[in-house]
Amino acid sequence: MIEQNRFYSPLLNPLYEGCDIDDLCVATYLIGAEKEEGAILKAVSIGIEQTTGSWVDVPEETNEMRQSYASKIIGVYEVPHNYENQTDVNINVAPGGMRFYVIRIGYPVANIENNIPLLIGSICGNIMSMPYLKLLDIDFPRKYVEPFQGPKFGIQGIRDMLQAYDRPILNNMIKPCTGYTPEVGTKLFFEAAAGGVDIIKDDELIGGDRSFNKLADRVKLNMEAVERAKEIKGETTLYACNITDEVCRLKDNAMTVINNGGNCIMVDIHGTGYTAVRMLAEDPEITVPILAHSCFNGAFTCSPNQGISSKVVNKLVRMSGADIYLTQPPYGKFDNTFDNYITNVNTSKAKFYDLKPMLPFVGGGVVPGLVAKFMDDCGPDLLLGVGAGIHAHPMGPRAGAIAFRNAIDAVMNNIPLREKAKSCKELDAAIQKWGIYGEDHSKDLYAI
């Protein structure tokens, strides 16, 4: 008896409605194929490669095994679909040209449950060596997400710690990025905190113990600065101390921060890995929020036809338990599309089963003249990440922080920034230096 080629059978190509979607993590990819290359065959080959099979049938890969553990191709859509001709080969594609498809592949939860490294190995594994393949999204069923605690504090927990409600939260990065002593860093920290910054973080380029800046020393000095600044502004400040290190030293670094009075930690998540952050977030001894920095993220997200999308990254970071995560806006020194930035902000905050919302953090060339635009885009649940916009203020970092707090107050009360600047010399100086978005703000401000 002749059987249907398994690559084209309903076993591997079921209808969405014929699948138990609660048992599948559904990955959406953009793939490119040569003009006459079969899209269904390519999709099934990708799915089989990442689940039960290989490039050729092996004896023990039975239909029973495939039913439970093989991938399920539940959508193959050409972009654009060749409706007019309804031919097998899109005649509008030049010889030797590419056809592009959106494909949706379901991966059985049993293959990857409660295991982010294995999820990445399955959904973004060997196939990422292929040209023209990008992972656009993963639809997670509730049963996959349930084992993950997610953010321990989230937006509300951070607001409660700061007693800062109904407004954007202000962050500052200590600049210079690295190479300074704890004594130099704490002077900059105090000035920014006294001016009204809510969260001050180390730069992503200084982490753990450095020969010129020991972890315990900078925690002690900066937390002393928190108390001195509180006497001036009447508000507390979180210090996101960068503990980034080899994974075997992360817990010790975190406890060094906590045991020396620190109230927040920071990790370069793509250097240490999602699971390293999850280890910290789900540890009951780690009693402070986690700020995850996105450095290196662009290496696998920025290509239009390769890698993975930053939406997927945001989901994985939130599942891992970060309370804060950085995304680049399209207005500053880094390139990002508006739609991608809004998607990332919403992925941080929107309902994700029972996981707490993660505070979205925008940074990279943020100046006071952008505050109104950020508020319109994102609302008040946002962390404004400001480095040089505070430290390079003509009147110094304390004045830079004052300028931002006044800009935030003006926007929250529907007062034009130029009107507010008449009574705030610090804001006036910032506007004169960097402008207001929509009037004279420009990408020309930035050198990169």
Tens of pLDDT, residues 364-410: 889 999 999 999 999 999 999 999 999 999 999 999 999 999 999 99
How far, in Å, are 137, 139, 247, 274, 317 from residue 120 at the CA level?
A: 12, 14, 18, 10, 13
C-alpha triplet 139, 107, 90: angle, nearest 5° = 80
Residue 220, burial from CB neighbour count under 10 angstroms (0-12, 13-18, 19+) = middle
Measured in degrees and rounded to the nearest 5, phi and psi for residue 349 equal -105, -25
240-244, 247-251, 298-302: range with lowest mean pLDDT: 298-302
Closest among 387, 376, 360, 367 to 436, alpha carbons compared: 367
Contact yes or no for 35/97 (Cβ under 8 A)? yes
How much is the pLDDT for 448?
46
Buried b (16+ CB within 10 A) or exposed e, 134-160: bbebbebbeebbeebebbbbbbeebbe
Options 293, 349, 356, 391, the catalytic residue: 293
- Determine what percent of the chain is predicted with pLDDT higher than 90: 79
- Report pTM: 0.94
- Tell me if residue 81 is catalytic: no
Mean pLDDT of the chain: 93
Q: Which residue has the higher pLDDT, 172 or 58?
A: 172
C-alpha triplet 222, 228, 229: angle, nearest 5° = 85
How much is the pLDDT for 92?
65
How far, in Å, are 48, 122, 146 from residue 140 at the CA level?
A: 20, 14, 10
Options 42, 134, 152, 175, the catalytic residue: 175
How confident is the model over 20-25, as a mean pLDDT?
96
Q: For the segment 298-343, what is each residue's pLDDT rounded down to a tens digit? A: 888 989 899 999 999 999 999 999 999 999 899 877 778 999 999 9
Measured in degrees and rounded to the nearest 5, phi and psi for residue 363 equal -155, 165
Instruction: Identify the band that residue 284 occupies on the pLDDT scale cut at 50, 70 and 90.
Output: very high
Q: Is the pLDDT of residue 37 over 90?
A: no
The one-letter amino acid code at 15 reads L
- Tell me if residue 293 is catalytic: yes
The one-letter amino acid code at 278 reads R
Q: DSSP of 348-369, one letter per residue?
A: HHS-BTTBPPPEEEEESS--GG
Identical fold at 6-145 and 154-445?
Answer: no
Give the chain's end-to-end CA distance (angstroms, integer).
Answer: 65
Question: CATH fold of 6-145, please?
Answer: Alpha-Beta Plaits (3.30.70)
**Rounded CA separation 139/5 (Å):** 29
How far, in Å, are 39, 40, 235 from residue 77 at the CA level?
A: 9, 10, 54
How far, in Å, are 333, 361, 387 from residue 324 at the CA level?
A: 21, 6, 17
Both structure tokens of 149: 């605690």
Q: Look-up: residue for tokens 């959106």? A: 102
- Determine what percent of the chain is predicted with pLDDT higher than 70: 94
Please give the class, per CATH, of domain 154-445: alpha beta
Closest among 122, 109, 204, 121 to 148, alpha carbons compared: 109
Strand, helix or coil at 279?
helix
Domain extents in the chain: 6-145, 154-445
**Rounded CA separation 329/186 (Å):** 29
How confident is the model over 12-40, as a mean pLDDT?
93
Instruction: Identify the band that residue 445 occupies on the pLDDT scale cut at 50, 70 and 90.
Output: low
Q: For the segment 84-133, what is each residue's pLDDT rounded down to a tens digit? A: 555 555 656 666 678 999 999 999 999 999 999 999 999 999 999 999 99
